[in-house]
Structure 1
């Protein structure tokens, strides 16, 4: 879809077309929204409310999936996870002791967010605190992405390439850190 087609859709439907897209792919839609707000096609305050609400709803859905736990995982993985009670206990301790920090880091790094949001639900991190912490981090993240779109202007589509590269790097780093953490947890069990 080129800019002209996108602008025509936004002229016709306004934020109603951006809201569901923000739930599915929040960061790039936030950048797109910033571009649109910069051109006066959407109101900035309304845009911020939409992208923040969509981001929080997506986080709450992932929390809920984590809370429902193993029933949504493949049987083999579920069996393996349920046998490792020391790992489960450690994950619960980490979320209890450092949950807010983990949630903020996950939110701001984007790539690690999926796993941390699921873990928050799985460990029964208090939902009101979860929402409050995520709201604070989401306001910062969404505002920054909207500002980036405003600043990039007609070059907003280039942000997707940069974000894809950054996400790959962050996910790779998160996987490495998770492997180190799991290795240390396994060594402490022995």
Structure 2
């Protein structure tokens, strides 16, 4: 009877959509369901961890699963999703990436070489801290695979960074109770800010490249 009451309390909170889907997974599968949802969130970034993790914390507060189970399974799900993306990067491979890069407009092979050099120097920090940055949480696993970062190191950094991020959001949902959706509001703002910064950086990069290319063509025209 107690379990049914707890499950009903969880199921009635989300109105539907992603929150309803995640609540249903956690209701039916407990920690395993939360882990599966987070693994999918890594593979499909539009699925927001700022909904799934606080909801899992709320579920733990309602007794649907234990707090330790929530943290263990969500961290394991993060690692599983990250490893899948790592192997996507590894399967693409360095040579194929260079071949694709050479065909892209507005970029140069030298850009990719500098990126490689940067990742070789700062890759461990990028993987660890990247797990705590919206959007980059998923993307950072791909260059790690491209560069074939040692798997034990990748797993350790991914698990550590994911555990910190997951703990913050799960505990927020646990403490906020039926107001867990407040977490989504604040982290959603952070996600939008990160996305805006990325778009601005891409736009600035594109404008500079186009301006430089036009200046080069104009100088060549004057010489001819």
Closer/same/farther in 2, CA of residues 181 and 68 from structure 1, 3 Å limit = farther
1:163 and 1:177 mapped to 2: Cα distance?
21
Match of 1:24 among 12, 34, 40: 40
Q: Work out whether residues 112 and 171 of structure 1, in 8 Å CA contact, stay in contact via their aligned partners in 2.
A: no
2:172 and 2:81 mapped to 1: Cα distance?
21
What's the TM-score once normalised by structure 1's chain length? 0.78
Give the match for residue 97 of structure 1. 121
Q: Work out whether residues 112 and 174 of structure 1, in 8 Å CA contact, stay in contact via their aligned partners in 2.
A: no
1:96 and 1:147 mapped to 2: Cα distance?
34
Question: How well do the aligned residues superpose, as a CA RMSD in angstroms?
Answer: 3.4
Q: Work out whether residues 90 and 146 of structure 2, in 8 Å CA contact, stay in contact via their aligned partners in 1.
A: yes
Matches within 5 A, 1:45-64: 45-64=68-87
- The answer to whether the aligner puts 1:162 opposite 2:186 as a matched pair is yes
- The answer to whether the aligner puts 1:33 opposite 2:56 as a matched pair is yes
Match of 1:151 among 175, 184, 187: 175
2:30 and 2:159 mapped to 1: Cα distance?
24
Tell me the CA shift for residue 21 of structure 1.
1.4
What's the TM-score once normalised by structure 2's chain length? 0.67
- The answer to whether the aligner puts 1:65 opposite 2:65 as a matched pair is no
Structure 2 residue runs of 5 or longer lacking an equivalent are 1-10, 42-48, 217-224
Closer/same/farther in 2, CA of residues 161 and 120 from structure 1, 3 Å limit = same
Tell me the CA shift for residue 51 of structure 1.
0.1
Tell me the CA shift for residue 69 of structure 1.
2.1
Tell me the CA shift for residue 78 of structure 1.
4.7
Answer 1 or 2: higher relative contact order, Cα 8 Å, separation at least 6.
1
Match of 1:3 among 3, 13, 20: 13
Closer/same/farther in 2, CA of residues 175 and 128 from structure 1, 3 Å limit = farther
